[in-house]
Amino acid sequence: MATGRTHRPATRSRGIPEATVARLPLYLRALTALSERSVPTVSSEELATAAGVNSAKLRKDFSYLGSYGTRGVGYDVEYLVYQISRELGLTQDWPVVIVGIGNLGAALANYGGFASRGFRVAALIDADPAQTGKMVAGLPVRHTDELEDIVEHNQVSIGVIATPAGAAQEVCDRLVAAGVTSILNFAPTVLSVPDGVDVRKVDLSIELQILAFHEQRKAGEDLGEAVAAARDTLPKAVAEPVTEPARRPGPDGDVPAVMPA
């Protein structure tokens, strides 16, 4: 998603596929749990189950990192934890700023799994002067005016945006101008950033909508595929581009209709 990297020849034997990178944190979490229970080694099968993937995928993923397993035995837990941590860059410390300390921003600031594993909340920033100085998660909320100073002073390269949608792009621009090159965006907006800046987004309502799509399918199946099938065969040409559209789904959901399962 929005890798934003300048077109790299993709040469490098070092190119770990994006899909693999996205799973490394999962493996790391499962391994850390094993490590805490002092389990010394683990097979691809066991680890894959713990991480919720299949073992072939896991082995392929690990093969991009190197040959860290032992045939006939499995993987050394501690060693893998170390290797994956290093690969992900978690053996160094990443200062992070959170901008927008509303409900969500505060929740993020309080989130435990944040501070551990290489990430450190360097500052909380909010545009509301009334919030300034308030303590959240043990840190004082600072005013947006200080954003550039904070980023430069703390060598922050990762910024978290938890502002309302309307403010997100401007905050993003300022973060980037100040030196941030990775952004985690919780605001429901598409951010545009220059090349070389990575953006990842987390969007509650998108996730819900995807779930709703599949729910709808399930409901359709339950009452026989007949209905869906009928819709399918509707000669598309017959659609009249101005009949239904007049009624956009009102703010309080119209057509409660069938009700799922």
Partner DNA sequence: GAATGTGAAGGCTTTCACAGCT
Partner DNA sequence: AGCTGTGAAAGCCTTCACATTC
> Binding partner of residue 20 among a copy of itself, DNA, none, CB under 5 to 8 Å per kind?
DNA
| # binding residues, DNA (CB under 7 A) | 26
CB of 24 to DNA, least distance (A): 12
- Distance, in Å, from the CA atom of 21 to the CA atom of 14, rounded to the nearest integer, reads 12
Which range in 40-48, 82-90, 135-143, 192-200 contacts DNA by CB under 7 A? Answer: 40-48
| Under rule CB under 7 A, residue 83 binds DNA | no
Known binder of ligand: residue 89? Answer: no
Both tokens of residue 93?
């410390």
> Binding partner of residue 146 among DNA, a copy of itself, none, CB under 5 to 8 Å per kind?
none
> Binding partner of residue 51 among a copy of itself, DNA, none, CB under 5 to 8 Å per kind?
a copy of itself
Closest among 164, 101, 166, 95 to 132, alpha carbons compared: 101
Q: With contact defined as beta carbons under 8 Å apart, do 188 and 165 qualify?
A: yes
CB of 214 to DNA, least distance (A): 14
| Under rule CB under 7 A, residue 49 binds DNA | no
Known binder of ligand: residue 100? Answer: yes
CB of 42 to DNA, least distance (A): 7
Known binder of ligand: residue 185? Answer: no
Among 24, 51, 75, 147, binds DNA (CB under 7 A): 75
> Binding partner of residue 118 among DNA, a copy of itself, none, CB under 5 to 8 Å per kind?
a copy of itself
CB of 223 to a copy of itself, least distance (A): 14
> Binding partner of residue 62 among DNA, a copy of itself, none, CB under 5 to 8 Å per kind?
DNA
| Under rule CB under 7 A, residue 57 binds DNA | yes
| Under rule CB under 7 A, residue 67 binds DNA | yes
β-strands 182-185, 119-126: how paired?
A: unpaired
Known binder of ligand: residue 103? Answer: yes
- Distance, in Å, from the CA atom of 125 to the CA atom of 142, rounded to the nearest integer, reads 5
Can you say whether the dihedral through the CA atoms of 208, 213, 214, 216 is positive or negative? Answer: positive
| Under rule CB under 7 A, residue 132 binds DNA | no
| Under rule CB under 7 A, residue 19 binds DNA | yes
| Under rule CB under 7 A, residue 201 binds DNA | no
Q: What's the one-letter identity of residue 135? A: M
Query: Cα 189 to the chain's mean position, in Å?
Result: 14
Known binder of ligand: residue 253? Answer: no
- Distance, in Å, from the CA atom of 155 to the CA atom of 122, rounded to the nearest integer, reads 9
Per the annotation, binding residues for NAD(+) are 100-105
Positions in the binding site for DNA (CB under 7 A): 10, 17-20, 43-45, 53-57, 59-60, 62-63, 67-75
